[in-house]
DNA sequence: GTCCGGGTGTGCTTCTCGTCACATTCGCGA
DNA sequence: TCGCGAATGTGACGAGAAGCACACCCGGAC
């Protein structure tokens, strides 16, 4: 970190994170360096918007560090959080499928460091490395599966079930320690938007889990005490 | 129709439908013929299962004629209908992204005629016609958008709203006449599974729409009387 | 014709969860 | 250190929809 963050010059740290992602790993050492030089890294403060739903989309993004939420907004202003992303996750893939506008907004929750690769550069890379295209398709498959699962959860699980499942997922994907959800900046309103519920309802559901000793809350840190019971509650 | 339905020999009628699909249209006259010969067409009675969720998936399918539903089943046996498909629609695309098992089952609602193209054949075609790959990606983009919309609907619309929206979509996509949902074989249970609700609740919501003169029901035919009001009810 | 089964229309009860309203606490900046 | 706004914890109320039960209707099999 030399202060000139976002400059295409400090390639090494960018390449280091890209090497951790399933998508870019297939490029190999050289390809990753090329990719890192082909894009631009930028830093964002919490609460900033990386791009808006509806914007023209011309780049693929990789979250080098930090935490962001994927927010879908309806015509009436209702918001649902489709996903939380942390280090090594990619977003903005939809722009590469067709030229269509961004289907959701990306909002930072914590200070974040984001790498953006123009569509044209990525297509070049794909031409050179067919494995990249394969991996890209695998990503899309995963996304479709996750979305259908989310729809099924909304249809079949009650609020407590959805919340239990969400906590397990958050701890698994973004938790620093096993079985702990410690995500500064993530409010109960965010949790509510992730499971399609209201903030007061989420609060009550959390308290209910606390009283049954399935979780413990201190400040913004949620510790999962009874994983088995939570999984049962979440329909797993 | 010569009785030997499904034989790879009667290429012309298959090619005719393929030419109507956005995906295969890009192949041009010759490519479509090749594609039609590379796959297999089969006929199904109502209620049959074309493939099961969990099956290994090694082919892309095109619905040449008929009506099928895409059913996702949870571990507990709860079912949600993700989509209805009619003539010219494709399904089973997920198998081509990765080698993963089918993510949903396909069940015929009416007598259906289905074309199946093995994964390997499709990949060959894509190598020859790069436009096919582009079109395929566009399809996936559309699918992702539809799924996020579905999730948002489940989160924000009440049962009546989801039902209104569904009726508009069904009339638009599968209706024989403008503003009419005439889908023999499609039960109220199916409607319920499409919007994540119970069958009695759907019935009541339908009756409510009837009493307010937004729709009319005679037998299995639903006529949409007040499109504007339905759209409003469905959050459009 | 008669039986049977699946699909449809309704009534009733229960409970979840949205809505509104408010007190309390936390965290950050002046 | 104080103060203010945001985030959190609760209470009361009502609407919506699930669950359960049952009557009716219609079409096909025998």
pLDDT tens digit sequence for A4-35: 334 455 899 999 999 999 999 999 999 999 99
CA distances to A13, B40, B99, B133, B143 from B139, rounded to whole Å, are 36, 22, 19, 10, 6
A36 touches strand C (CB under 7 A): no
CB < 7 A to strand C: residues 208-227, chain A: 219-220
Segment A124-143 shows an average pLDDT of: 92
Could you identify the residue written with the tokens 């030419």? B19
**Option in A138, A152, A155 nearest B98 (CB):** A138
How many distinct helices (H) and strands (E) make up chain B? 10, 11
Segment A208-234 shows an average pLDDT of: 96
**CA B229: distance to chain centroid?**
26
Segment B121-146 shows an average pLDDT of: 93
**B40-72: buried (b, 16+ CB within 10 Å) or exposed (e) per residue?**
ebbbbeeeeebbebeeebebbbbbbbbbbbbbb
Mean pLDDT rounded to a whole number for chain A: 93
Nucleotide whose C1' lies closest to the alpha carbon of residue B158:
D16
B143 neighbourhood in chain A, CB within 8 Å: 144
Residue B8: what pLDDT? 54
- For residues B41 and B159, give the distance between their C-alpha atoms in angstroms, rounded to a whole number: 38
CA distance A138 to chain B (A): 5
Could you identify the residue written with the tokens 């949903």? B104
Mean pLDDT rounded to a whole number for chain B: 93
- For residues A118 and B131, give the distance between their C-alpha atoms in angstroms, rounded to a whole number: 21
Chain C nucleotides reached by a protein CB under 7 Å: 6-11, 16-21, 26-27
Backbone angles phi, psi at A170, to 5 degrees: -65, -45
Residue B99 contacts by C-beta under 8 Å, 6 or more apart in sequence? B56, B57
Residue A9: what pLDDT? 58
> Residue A54: pLDDT above 50?
yes
Listed residue (B50, B68, B63, B70) closest to B17, CA to CA: B63
Per residue in A174-220, pLDDT tens? 988 888 999 999 999 999 999 999 999 999 999 999 999 999 999 88
Segment B206-235 shows an average pLDDT of: 96
Q: Is B33 exposed, middle or buried (0-12, 13-18, 19+ CB in 10 A)?
A: middle
> Residue A83: pLDDT above 70?
yes
pLDDT bin (cut points 50, 70, 90) of residue B176 is confident
pLDDT top residue among A207 and B134 = A207
DSSP-derived pairing of the beta strands A79-86 and A90-91: unpaired
A103 neighbourhood in chain B, CB within 8 Å: 144-145, 148
**Option in A74, A144, A236 nearest B152 (CB):** A74
Lookup: tokens for A145 = 């599966």
Work out the percent of chain B whose per-residue pLDDT is above 90. 87
CA distance A16 to chain B (A): 26
- pTM: predicted TM-score of the whole model, two decimal places: 0.93
For the ranges A70-74, A136-140, B8-12, the one whose mean pLDDT is highest:
A70-74
């Amino acid at each position: 970190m030399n202060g000139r963050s976002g400059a295409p010059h400090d390639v090494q740290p960018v390449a280091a994170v890209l090497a951790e992602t399933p998508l870019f790993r297939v490029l190999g050492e050289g390809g990753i360096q090329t990719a890192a030089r082909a894009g631009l890294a930028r830093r964002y403060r919490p609460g900033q918007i990386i791009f808006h739903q509806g914007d023209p989309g011309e780049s693929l993004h990789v979250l080098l560090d930090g935490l962001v939420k994927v927010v879908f907004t309806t015509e009436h202003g209702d918001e649902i959080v489709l996903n939380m992303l942390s280090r090594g996750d990619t977003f903005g893939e939809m722009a590469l499928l067709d030229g269509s506008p961004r289907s959701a907004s990306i909002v930072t929750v914590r200070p974040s460091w984001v790498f953006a690769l123009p569509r044209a550069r990525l297509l070049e890379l794909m031409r050179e490395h067919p494995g990249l295209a394969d991996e890209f398709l695998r990503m899309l498959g995963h996304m479709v599966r996750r979305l259908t699962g989310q729809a099924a959860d909304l249809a079949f699980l009650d609020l407590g079930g959805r919340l239990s499942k969400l906590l397990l997922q958050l701890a698994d994907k973004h938790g620093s320690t096993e079985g702990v959800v410690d995500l500064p900046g993530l409010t109960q309103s965010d949790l509510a938007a992730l499971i399609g519920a209201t903030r007061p309802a989420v609060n009550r559901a959390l308290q209910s889990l606390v009283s049954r000793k399935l979780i413990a809350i201190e400040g913004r840190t949620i510790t999962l005490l009874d994983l088995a019971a939570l999984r049962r509650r979440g329909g797993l």
